[in-house]
Structure 1
């Protein structure tokens, strides 16, 4: 995922049902299960390879109307799965 910053989180959510932030949350949960304390920011930095705010400023684009519509459709499909 670090090698493909051009792939937006919304596209990951549409196609895979999870994004980098989800992965960071799971990473943090797994650390906690092992008794390792990790902040949300530290988990995101592990996934993104840099502070999230820095990654967002450099790589995240505003979602297009098409992406938003596809995201909503994917959310509806996943809610019924």
Structure 2
């Protein structure tokens, strides 16, 4: 497989993942994704932003999130985010440290 085809397939898979998370599984909470998989929608939007920045494109965290989510974080939260239990919040602290803080 040539590099261009590989890039196009990877991009298509990313778009499908985004669609799945943003349109089909809005019921799945970011905290649950982070606690189980070590990443969430915010991570994906941050990776998008970081890729843009690495290529010399100025993009803030908020701009990356709005592009990925298709709306502002405030809109997403009001439409889809639910309150997390204290147990989930505690597990998130560990997952975030292991997968985000200590990776930086």
Q: TM-score, normalised by structure 1?
A: 0.79
Aligned pair partner of 2:41 in 11, 17, 20: 20
Matched, 1:68 2:89: yes
> Looking at both structures, which has the greater relative contact order when contacts are Cα pairs under 8 Å and sequence separation is at least 6?
1
The structure-2 alpha-carbon separation of the partners of 1:35 and 1:74, relative to structure 1 and needing over 3 Å to count, comes to closer
Higher Rg: 2
Q: Which residue of 1 aligns with 2:27?
A: 6
Unaligned 5+ residue runs, structure 2?
1-20
Pick the structure with more helix per residue. 2
5+ residue gaps, structure 1: none
Deviations 1:42-62 (A, max 9, x none): 100122111111001111111
For residues 22-77 of structure 1, what are the alpha-carbon distances to aligned partners after superposition, in whole Å with 9 as ceiling and x for unaligned? 11111111001111111211100122111111001111111023423544565688
RMSD: 2.2
TM-score, with structure 2 as normaliser:
0.64
Give the count of matched residue pairs: 79
